[in-house]
Amino acid sequence: MARLLVRTLWVGAVTLLGVPHASAAALSVPASDTVDAPAGMLRGVASNGVTAFLGVPYARPPVGALRWSPPEALPRWQGVREATHDGADCPQPERMGSPVSSTNENCLFLNVVVQRVPASDRPLPVMVWIHGGAFVGGAGSLYPLEALARTGPMIMVSVNYRLGALGFMNHRAFPAVQGDGYGIEDQRLALRWVQHNIGAFGGDPHRVTLAGESAGAGSVCAQVMRPIENAGLFQRAIIQSAACTGPMPDLAAARKLADAFTRAAGCGTTHDVMRCLRDKPVPDLLRAQVTVQGARIAAFQPLVIGGRGQRAVAAAVRKGDFMHVPMLLGGMDDELQLYVDYGIRAGADITPSTYPALLKTVYGRHAPEVAREYPLRAYPSAEDALAHALTDFQPVYNIGQCLFLAQGAGFARVVPVYQFDFADAGAPPVGTDPTVSRGAVHGAELPYLFPGVDYTHARTGTVPQGDSAQLAVWMREYWASFVRDGRPVAKGAPVWPRFDAASSVMRLDPHAMGTMDAASAHRCAFWRRLYPDLLVY
């Protein structure tokens, strides 16, 4: 039963994932909706005041000899490329809550969406969005970019990158992995594409914000921790529901996982492992990936700063060895409630009698202390008690409010940090199933920034209503202001102070907007006493 809960927690994680501002002057997209960029000429599609350029390739297809190789830039194409439809999603299996799946390796595409505004000498700021999906699912095209593009106004870019074993496996037989994984290298090449091409769309390559949620935010973390490789590629960072300084795999664990994958794919006894794996059809590779992934969340993920482990990353943060850019970061007030709900739907038995065993599965020898800190009598149900404990601190993965606060404190020693706690209890359900969690759970903020997001390409997802609609306007203005100027400001909303202590966290709640003491609310002193090596700030 405990294994069932852990398995459903990772399945739930895999499922996840305006008003024009006064400074609207910017370079305009040509009236023909055709752009002559250094990469080649593109014809986009105009709708509701924005022009979208969809399915734009930024790298050679990673097939054949380029499978499990660093991405290669494309030469300029000839003629006009029709950029009116999304490109293929990167290979991924179906998963609970989302029918999206793909076996197409020709998937390294990006989308560019820009508001049509009057011409001016000042170019638009740019946000590059990295999608979530536990590093094994998702696609950039699942996120409607129009609302944020209008709010800025700014240029929005979303990116596909290789996923799962194809994007984040590190085998001894592979060519040396540059950086932290092929998927991370894909993202970096996309950032270089933006630097070389965004000017043709009216964008400013010197005002680029790298942003993401969940695995997308973990990707931003991996990029932030590579200051030399990413010099000049982005000037701000937004990290939603991930902790750069939390637990992460080391190289030894990654190599062990790669060996298990190779055996599952039928190449374990082959002399030329690389050739065997490159000859395998994608469906076979996805089946092997599912086999070895098992109950683990994000088993395939970036090896931040070369897979040297959490302590090495924390030490790098203390030394200031990261991208010195302003950061906006935070998480959900009931983050892990979503995963608990997925566990219940999958049959996990979460009751007062099973509560101690479930705590032991996650917290090991600390379970009795956690049970005393989160007693059943203080919550309406065992599910609620478990969700609160997991939300405040989860020691296995890079998630949890106290981890978010720890990383905010570490980065704030060197750069401006603006921290948030999304706490709208009236948030619409996450994903496509209205019976799944609603409220401030993992992924709940996404419809506020990307109205209509639903993870199925149907663009029929939920949009915040009532008081939540006003919060959505404020959030898009906060985010757009940060992208533009490095400070989150929204008309009519509370002033968002720079983070200097846990009490300066902005609570994003339409019924209680303003700063809050997040460390007290999420009992971080208790968790730091139990896990001093993980909560290092």
Which residue is catalytic, options 335, 383, 445, 477?
A: 335
- Output the CA–CA distances (angstroms, integers) from residue 246 to 135, 239, 307, in the order listed: 16, 13, 13
Strand 80-82 and strand 40-43: the pairing is parallel
Helix segments in 320-400, DSSP class H: 337-345, 355-363, 367-373, 382-392
Q: Is 241 a catalytic residue?
A: no
| Residue 503 is among the residues annotated as catalytic for this protein | no
CB-CB neighbours of 514 under 10 Å? 13
Report helix, strand or coil for 165.
helix
Cα separation of 445 and 423, whole Å?
Answer: 9
> Dihedral, CA atoms, 162, 163, 167, 168, nearest 10 degrees?
150
Element (H, E) at 253: helix 251-264
The residue behind tokens 């092929």 is: 182
Q: Which of 69, 102, 158, 214 is catalytic?
A: 214
Residue 23: active-site member: no
Q: Distance (Å, rounded) from C-alpha 27 to C-alpha 165?
A: 41
CA 472 to chain centre: 19
CB atoms within 10 A of CB 235: 20
Q: Which two tokens stand for residue 408?
A: 């905010």
Q: Give the residue from 439, 451, 448, 421 showing the smallest Cα distance to 513.
A: 421
Q: What is the 3-state secondary structure of 403-456?
A: HHHHHHHHHHCCCCEEEEEECCCCCCCCCCCCCCCCCCCCCCCHHHHCCCCCCC
* Phi, psi dihedrals of residue 158, rounded to the nearest 5°: -120, 150
Peptide bond into 326 cis (omega under 30): no
Give me the residues paired with residue 130 across strands.
159, 212
- Of these residues, 442, 468, 504, 522, which one is catalytic? 442
Residue with tokens 């199933």: 433
Residue 427 to residue 511: CA distance in whole angstroms = 12
| Catalytic site positions | 214, 335, 442
